Structure formats: C-alpha cells, structure tokens
Structure 1
Amino acid sequence: MKHLLPLIALLILTLTFSCTGLKEGEVENHWPHAGITYEIFIQSFYDSNGDSIGDINGVIKKLDHVKELGANAIWFMPIMPSPSYHKYDVTDYKDIHPDYGTMEDFKKLLAEAHKKDIKVVIDMIINHTSSKHPWFLEAKKGRDNPYRDYYVWAQKDTIADYINKKTITIDSDNIRQWHDPGIGEDYYYGFFIGDMPDLNFDNPRVREEIYEIGRFWLEEVGVDGFRLDAAKHIFPDDRPEDNHAFWREFREKMVEIKPDVYLVGEVYDKKDIVAPYLPGLPALFNFDFHYNLIESYEKEDGMLLVKKQKEVLDFYLDITKDFIDATFSSNHDQPRLLNSLDENPKKLKQAINILMTMPGAPYLYYGEEIGMLGKKPDEQIREPFLWDMKANDKGRAAWIEPIYSIDETVTPLAIQKSMSTSYFNHYKEIIKLRNSNRALALGNLELFEGELAKPLMAFFRNHQDQEVMVVHNLSDVQQSLKISEEYTKIIYSYGMSDLENGQVILPGYSSIVIERE
C-alpha cells in the first residue's frame, strides 16, 4: 500500500484541478503585471561544454524546464564581462562574459526563448562599474582626464571625518565608502566596496552613456527589459528626489526605444521609501513580502502578511494606479527559502501556495522548485542546480564546491519529476492553478474580517464576476473556519484540507482555495 500513496496523492490533485473545469493546457500568460519570472544565475544553471561553469547554451538546453514549470519570463543575473564570480562589477557594458559564451549565443537564446513565449530580462548594473572598467582606469590618470568626472571624487582632507564612517544600511554593511586609488590625495566614492566605484550621475555625459547602453540591449540585442540593480543608490541617500527624477528620465528614454520595455527596480527598503520610485520604475521588488512571509511562520500569525501586503498595495495606489508588485519568497541575496523555514517540507510547499495565491507578479529563484538549500555567504546561496544524480549529471556546474545543495540533501530534478509529491510537481501544479485562474492572477485583495484563529491566513481574490476565498493554516495544529455558504466549489486543496457543511477543515500547513458559486 505504501508505494501507492504517491499515486493516490496525484489522483487527488488531478481531481482537485478537474473541479475548475479547465482543460489541459488552458493557461494564460499574465506577464508582466501578474506573470511569473524565473531568476537564473547562469554560472550555476547548466554547463553545456564541460568547463564546470554554467553557460548560455546550457540555458538554451533547459528552456523547456522553465516552460514546464510555468514561468513566463527569465531574469538573468549579470551576464556582462566582470572580474568577479557574481559579475556585479562590469568592465564592458556591451558584451557577454566569455565564461558564459558569445553575443551570438545570447541572441540565439533570446530567439529560442521568444519562440516559447518566454520574455528575457537582464541585470543592468549602472550605480557603479568595476574598478577595472576602462572608464575608471582612465579616470585614475589625473584630474584633467576626460573620464575623471565619470566618477565621484573628493580630496582626502575634505572627507577626513567621513572616510571610516557610514550608517549601515539594509542592503550594505560596508563601513568604508571613500577609497584611496593610490594616486595622491583624491579619494573616490564607492557605496558598496572599493572595487565598485560609483558613477557620477550629475554628469550629463554619464547619463547619456547609460541611455546608449540601454538602447544597445533593447534595440540591437533584443532583450525585453532590465532589472535595475541598487536603484536607490544612483545618488546618495540624502538626495532621494534626485534618484526619483533620474529614474523617471531613464524610463522616458527607454520607452522611446521600446514602448513596452519592462523595468523592475531593486530598492531595498520599506514601502514608504520604495513607493516614490514607482513613476520611474513601474515594477519594484517587494522586500516586505519576503520578510513578512518568514515572520508569519516564525510567529504563526496568519494575517500578519496579508494585512501588511494590503497596506503596501493601498500605499502604492496612492502614488500611481499603474504599478507592478514584484513579489518573491527568496532570491540570490537571502538564505534559501527552505533554510528560512526550518527545512520543513510542508512549510516550503505552503509558502509557494501563499506566493501564488497572493496578488503581484511573483519571482522564483532557480532551485527553489527542487528544495535547494543555502545560507550566507552569498556564494553558498548560489550553488549549482541539481539536474540528476551527480554520477549522471553531465550538466551540473562545478565552479564551487557545494556545501548545502548536494545529492545527500537535495533530490535532483530528474528524480523529482517521477515523484508525484515532490517539490517540483507541487510548484508546477500551484503555478498552473494561478495561470489558469484570473481571480488568483489578477484579482484584488480583500481581507477576511470574521473571527479567525491566529495561525490562519484568510483572504479573498476577486476579479470581475469571479470571487475566490483562500485559506492557509500556518501551524502544525489542525484549525477550522466557518465561511459563507456561498463558497462551495473547491478549486485547490493541499494537505488534506476540506470543506464540510460550510466549515473549512485545515490540517497543519494545509491550504484551500474555494470559489463562490
């Protein structure tokens, strides 16, 4: 009987989806406003040539994985030449890092992705360059060099009180911001580290260089948009209005080149700091969502996330009616989701249920769909994807020795595909539900206002004439909830949750979605 349990679970899941009346393949692409984007670190994804480093041709080989998962777009972490493994310090803004392949390889990837209706967004790092960028190498030659003013400089005696002082921010714990290039009394400004000198956006020539780089990638290469790194730090924190104005100008320039360009910004802060960027960056990552999701589990407080998300959405609506809330449960800077959830498989599966039943345009970090593990330092959060058991995995990258995501701790994708209860099949099915249900993808968010046990998360998603109710139990203790008798049609059930005589029964870490008839 034991070996039949996975088949029984799959049958239950199949029957659950049949309740929606959907036919196989009947899904919609809601990108960018509510579609799903898959984040890839190419270095760790798939190695097609055996040099231990993931590459562009490897991504081409695995585009069907992205499609099968149900994602509508890919965000690539930096792909441009750089001296570092992470490549957030660019030395050439108009080329591909040779470890990853060539520009022709990338154009082929774009063509193949577009054939599969998958959009492509690339990381654009313009707050700073590498200290090895030709602009900075020229700038260091002297005050009269034409590239000197591409960066921010100050004489040592004028910044003596600031050299070793910095308020630690949510996105950087670097203490030193002013750096000695070893050429005399002038120091240069680098918010993150000395290897990443900040560009001087008060210089019109710098802004024009950046707009030309944007034109190149949109027009000559053909990407669909940009993820804008460190968007809050174009100007120092005490000049937020200048930051906002720059991004409005940047958006205008990019829209002139590509009217439907997609721009998503990394403004790593709370909602009141993030919101004013919306007129320039119509999509912004919702860091609050990530942290509130984890906190909800830690406190077993189901409504914490929903209430705070409602506040965020309402706050944004006061700024602009046209915004994209880029939600995520993890990314390349945070510990892997499974680690943040005490390595509890039920929590991980339910967390993706929550992400996919809440409003927004969700981002998925590569490897989360197979339960990869990882903690700081960042390299260990970006370990190679496990496609198959190591002995059979010819495409597994080996640029780093993994500590967390190894065969002994993570079941590779090839095996998970044949397991009906695997992380991968769970991700695939809940994503399919979202892509098949307009209320879940596009609907507004309304809170459940009735009496509710603390671990329960309950809310409504309404779109046109469709209304659904979503309930999640964030504890390991069974909970129940009396709901309106109008909600009778179960369209999704996870963890043996059920509806009996107007009473929702939710075992530990279970979820249910019910449609109003």
Structure 2
Amino acid sequence: MKLQLGLFISTLLLIWSCSGKGKNEVENHWPHAGITYEIFIQSFYDSDGDGIGDFNGVIKKLDHVKELGANAIWFMPIMPSPTYHKYDVTDYKAVHPDYGTMDDFKQLLEEAHKRDIKIVIDLIINHTSTEHPWFLESKKSRDNPYRDYYVWAQKDTIADFINKKTITLDSDNIRQWHDPGFGQDYYYGFFWGGMPDLNFDNPKVREEIYEIGRFWLEDIGVDGFRLDAAKHIFPDDRPEDNHAFWKEFRDRMTAIKSDIYLVGEVYDRKEIVAPYLPGLPALFNFDFHYTLIEAYQKEDGMLLAKKQKEVLDFYLDITKDFIDATFSSNHDQPRLLNSLDENPRKLKQAINILMTMPGAPYLYYGEEIGMLGQKPDEHIREPFLWDIKANDKGRTSWIEPQYSIDETVTPLAIQKSMSTSYFNHYKEIIRLRNTNRALALGNLELYEGTLPDPIMAFFRNHKDQKVFVAHNLSDITHHIVIPEDYHEVIYKYGSPELEKNTITLPAYASIVIEKED
C-alpha cells in the first residue's frame, strides 16, 4: 500500500513538473514581459563616503532590486564623461572613475547574475563629448584622419541654418551647428554643442561602434544595451537610413551574443517608432507614459487602454517579434508622484495599471518609495533615501536635493515596516504580475460594455488563463457589471467589492478577477 501511494505521489509530481510552474509561483518573464529597474548610479548608494554612488554601492543593494521583484537593471551611462549625467562619452571602453574600476563593474555583473538579474547599460553612440580623443583630433584640421568621424561644414554653406531653431519631442535647442572656435568650419551637434554628432556615413565610424559593442558584450559580459537617441543617428529627413543602420547593428551584435537585449529610445509617435522594430526589438512606449498622466487629468478611464491596444495592434502589423517597453516615469520626466498631483492613491494605482497592462515594464529608481522631483533634470535624479538621514551612511550627497528629503519622502527602512507603504504596495502588485501568466504574457482585450467615464476595464488572456481588470481613475465611487463567470478576486486595492457580477469601485480602487476554470 505504501509503495502504491508512493508511486501515485511520484506520478503526480512528475505530471506537475512537466506541466510547468505551479500557480502562484514567481516566474521570470524577462525580456519579453519581465521588469527592468532603471538606476542612476550617481544617486543610488555611496559605498566609500565620497558623496557619489558607485558600483560597490549597487552590489550592496542588489537584494533590494531582487526583493522588489525586478528581473534586470538598466544603468544610465557609466563611461567616462565631463558631465554629471555622462551622456557625453570620452572613452567608450572604460568606466567613470567616480563609479569605481572595471573590476568593480565585473564584480557587480557577477553578483547580479548570481541573483538572476540581467544588466543593461546605456550605449550613447549618436554623439560623443567634445573632449573625446576622436573629436580633439577631428577639429585640428580638414585633412586630419578623424575629421570625417564627425559632421563638418564650412560656415558659408550653412549660413541659413546656423541660427535655425529646431524643436522636436526630445530637443528644443536653439541651434545644431556649432563653432569650435576658429570661425570657418562648424560641426553638427543635434542636442548641444558639447555633444558633436558622429558621422555614420563613414564606414570607419560604424566599425568603431561595432567594436565597442563587441567589447562590452564579449570582454565585459553585459546582457544588452539601451540605445540613446536612436532616432538621430542620421538626420530626421533620413529615417530609412536610421532603420537600415539599426538592422545592421542588430545583426552585428547578435553575431556576438545571440540573446542580446536591445532597447531603443525613439521619442515619437507610434507611426515613427514602429519602423525601428526590425532593428531594435524593444522600444520605449512614450505614448504609455503620457497617456497614463492624461487619463488621470481627464478622468478618462479607457483612454490609456484604447491607446495601448492601438499601439500593440500597429506594432503587430510591422513584426510579431517586438518587446513593448512600457514605463510610467524615467530620468527625463518629472517624478510620477509630482505628475499625479502628489496624490498617494493615484501613485499606487498608477503602478497597478502599469503592472496589469501588457508589456515589459520599466521602473525608475525611487518611485517605489514615492520620491519627488521636477525639472531641471538634476532634481529628477536626486539621491535615494535608504534610511533617515542620521542613519543613512550610503545616501549620496553630490547634489543638495530640493524635492526628495526626509520631510517629504519616507525612507525605505521605515517603509519596509509599514504595511500600507509605497514599497510594500509595489512589492505586492509586482509579485501578482510575476505569479500570473495572464497578467505577464496575456493579450489585451478591451471591455466592450457600458462604463462610467473614469473606469478603465480590460481582459488579459493567456492560453486557458483569463483575468478581468478594472481601475477607477476618479475620487467618486462607481459600479460596473462584468461577465458572470469571473468570480475569483486575486487582487484588490482601495476596498472594491464584488457581489454576484457587479463590482463597486471606490475612489482610485483597482481589482483583478480571474475567470473560473
């Protein structure tokens, strides 16, 4: 009898193991639907007391990223640069000494990989710093071997363009042509005079870039790149050349690392973004960020759901192989809490929306503790608050914060012990996503019934698992009727109630209901 029982149990275990993960077990869906945590190392954790965050500080806090539920980290620029933000590189095969050594970074990679955390680094190839050796050589003379690494023009040939103001979604600079100081020849720098654009019509430049990519993938061992200013490799009137370059870049990088992750910053409408997908399989969804905030401002619940459905369907017409990198905030936009009127309920619900929508979500460091910040950019990138200031040995001090201070933001150490804190809320909703395949991997089906204006409602379906999601984006209670076969409430925020097939959604409440088998 014992033998038969043992065989029976063994058979059940075998069936379970062959059928995949069990229900409510955490799964890692990166890159297609996993979660990436964006870190500005300068502000994250200072391990050596110089006031600046560093690689060793990140190592000390990798368990925080793991506890939160993220699967990967995107590091803002880590290479040598004369600016605090480091988006103007002076050496593509080194790390900034403020952050540590290359050996420190390799140790960080090793420790992250031990925790099943992937590492993605910012790769800034649209431009360099004016202090990069290539540019220092380039400006010496017209016949210098590095002259054609950049875009130069004689002053009289561009006279009509020198003072032309070009405004785009990602730049409002007054001018793009810059005088290096000797009056005759000007160089092109789309973003700023300190960032001269590289000349990608030059095959030597492209080969230099591919070698840089090889170095970081093969010699160092990163898992992928976030490609800054991907739309501006060639001028805006040459989009086909941009698309072709990124296809070539992807081919060269996948030849080095077959599972490389590439995510591009193409800051524009979906019609402009979508043609980049064959070269950049993951692209940031700026529409998601802006429409999320607009939906709260207008109390238009279905605005974001409809926009997301529209974007996903549009991308699917281009290619089936794409990753929708959704985000609710990043290092260029005001902190989410500021954008949502500093309303704690809105912030908690906003992360609920991000985690119940399709995509591969990005989280900006500090949002999980409700950090604050407004333009200029430095103050969107203020130091992380690990503990109260008197006890916080790792808090960075490279900048005097104006928004995220002890008086306005509760530090992480305190939030961990508060059941209703931002941090514990983030952990809970992320865990729900990581344990529910319909939320992580499912398609998006809009609710077609009659809804009050502030209600967002949709279905997420993956194979035989189906869930219904609803969010109330207003401060007034609303009721909605749902299909009768949705009964199992798997998540509630804001005290919603389900009675038979009617949901009561109080102000800023969210609910996730699973369909019965």
Shared fold (TM-score greater than 0.5)? yes
Q: Distance in 2 between matches of 1:485 and 1:331?
A: 39
Deviations 1:461-498 (A, max 9, x none): 00000110000000010011011110001010111011
Does residue 149 of structure 1 match 2:148? yes
Q: Distance in 2 between matches of 1:54 and 1:106?
A: 13
Deviations 1:275-307 (A, max 9, x none): 000000000000000000000000000000000
Equivalent residue letter for 1:34: A
- Contact kept, 8 Å, 1:130 with 1:195, in 2: the verdict is yes
| Correspondence for 1:186 | 185
Shift of residue 501 of structure 1? 1.5
Name the TM-score, length of structure 1 as normaliser: 0.95
Q: Distance in 2 between matches of 1:102 and 1:167?
A: 39
Q: What is the aligned-residue RMSD (CA, Å)?
A: 0.9
| Correspondence for 1:388 | 387
How do residues 277-426 of structure 1 correspond to structure 2 at under 5 angstroms? 277-426=276-425
| Correspondence for 1:12 | none
- Contact kept, 8 Å, 1:302 with 1:454, in 2: the verdict is yes
Does residue 130 of structure 1 match 2:108? no
Deviations 1:316-342 (A, max 9, x none): 000000100000000000000000000
- Contact kept, 8 Å, 1:140 with 1:183, in 2: the verdict is no
| Correspondence for 1:480 | 479
Q: Distance in 1 between matches of 2:261 and 2:363?
A: 17
Equivalent residue letter for 2:108: L
Deviations 1:58-100 (A, max 9, x none): 0000000000000000000000000000000000000010000
Q: Distance in 1 between matches of 2:466 and 2:501?
A: 16
| Correspondence for 2:433 | 434
User: How many residues of Structure 1 are paired with residues of Structure 2 in the alignment?
Assistant: 496
Tell me the SS of whatever aligns to 1:399. coil
- Contact kept, 8 Å, 2:492 with 2:510, in 1: the verdict is yes
| Correspondence for 2:92 | 93
> Alignment identity in percent?
84
Tell me the SS of whatever aligns to 2:480. strand
How do residues 452-471 of structure 1 correspond to structure 2 at under 5 angstroms? 452-471=451-470
Shift of residue 166 of structure 1? 2.9
Equivalent residue letter for 1:449: E
Equivalent residue letter for 2:372: L
Shift of residue 184 of structure 1? 3.8
Does residue 114 of structure 1 match 2:120? no
Shift of residue 239 of structure 1? 0.3
Deviations 1:350-400 (A, max 9, x none): 000000000000000000000000000000000000000000000000000
Q: Distance in 1 between matches of 2:509 and 2:96?
A: 44
Q: Distance in 2 between matches of 1:482 and 1:246?
A: 50
| Correspondence for 2:496 | 497
Moved over 3 A (4+): none
Q: Distance in 2 between matches of 1:479 and 1:184?
A: 66
Tell me the SS of whatever aligns to 1:99. helix
Q: Distance in 2 between matches of 1:94 and 1:197?
A: 19
Shift of residue 22 of structure 1? 4.9
Q: Distance in 2 between matches of 1:307 and 1:22?
A: 30
Q: Distance in 2 between matches of 1:39 and 1:206?
A: 29
Shift of residue 269 of structure 1? 0.4
Q: Distance in 1 between matches of 2:138 and 2:152?
A: 10
Q: Distance in 1 between matches of 2:154 and 2:170?
A: 27
Q: Distance in 2 between matches of 1:354 and 1:252?
A: 35
Q: Distance in 1 between matches of 2:138 and 2:204?
A: 14
| Correspondence for 2:36 | 37
Equivalent residue letter for 2:416: K
Tell me the SS of whatever aligns to 1:251. helix
Q: Distance in 1 between matches of 2:361 and 2:208?
A: 32
Equivalent residue letter for 2:60: K
Q: Distance in 2 between matches of 1:65 and 1:310?
A: 33
| Correspondence for 2:263 | 264
Q: Distance in 2 between matches of 1:153 and 1:499?
A: 66
Shift of residue 182 of structure 1? 1.1
- Contact kept, 8 Å, 2:178 with 2:189, in 1: the verdict is yes
- Contact kept, 8 Å, 1:456 with 1:473, in 2: the verdict is yes
Equivalent residue letter for 1:281: L
Tell me the SS of whatever aligns to 1:121. strand
Equivalent residue letter for 1:211: Y
Shift of residue 167 of structure 1? 2.6
